[in-house]
């Protein structure tokens, strides 16, 4: 039986728009590659098996897009602030209110 709500393993919020880190990391790599192709290769997905299903590829996942994006954003901040800003503009999973 499927539970009615699937919660993120990191923030414990209900994942209402599940997109797995594999799908997200592809999009993120494409964005970062526009500015820094070397840095783009450093973006990796964090596959954590869970009961939520990605709306794009159908894979099981347990980490919400918000937490994954936050991890990548903090990583980019350390490496390249300009890219981090562009990232925030395009992948806004509630990050803007946290970091601005």
Residue 22 CB, shortest distance to Zn ion, in Å, is 5
Pick between residue 10 and residue 36 the one whose CB is nearest to Zn ion: 10
* Footprint on this chain of Zn ion (rule: CB under 5 A): 8, 10-11, 20, 23, 54, 56-57, 59, 64, 67
Whole-angstrom distance, CA of residue 8 vs CA of residue 57: 18
CA atoms within 13 A on the CB side of 91: 28
Pick between residue 47 and residue 80 the one whose CB is nearest to Zn ion: 47
Burial environment of residue 65 by CB neighbours within 10 A (0 to 12, 13 to 18, 19 or more): buried
Residue 29 CB, shortest distance to Zn ion, in Å, is 14
Pick between residue 39 and residue 48 the one whose CB is nearest to Zn ion: 48
């Amino acid at each position: 039986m499927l539970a009615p709500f699937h919660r993120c393993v990191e923030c414990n919020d209900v994942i209402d728009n599940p997109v797995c880190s594999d799908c997200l990391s592809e999009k993120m790599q494409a964005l970062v590659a526009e500015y820094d192709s070397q840095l783009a290769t450093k973006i990796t997905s964090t596959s954590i098996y869970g009961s939520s299903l990605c709306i794009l590829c159908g894979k099981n996942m347990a980490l919400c897009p918000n937490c994954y994006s936050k991890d990548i954003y903090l990583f980019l901040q350390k490496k390249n602030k300009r890219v981090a800003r562009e990232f925030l503009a395009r992948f806004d999973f509630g990050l803007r209110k946290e970091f601005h």
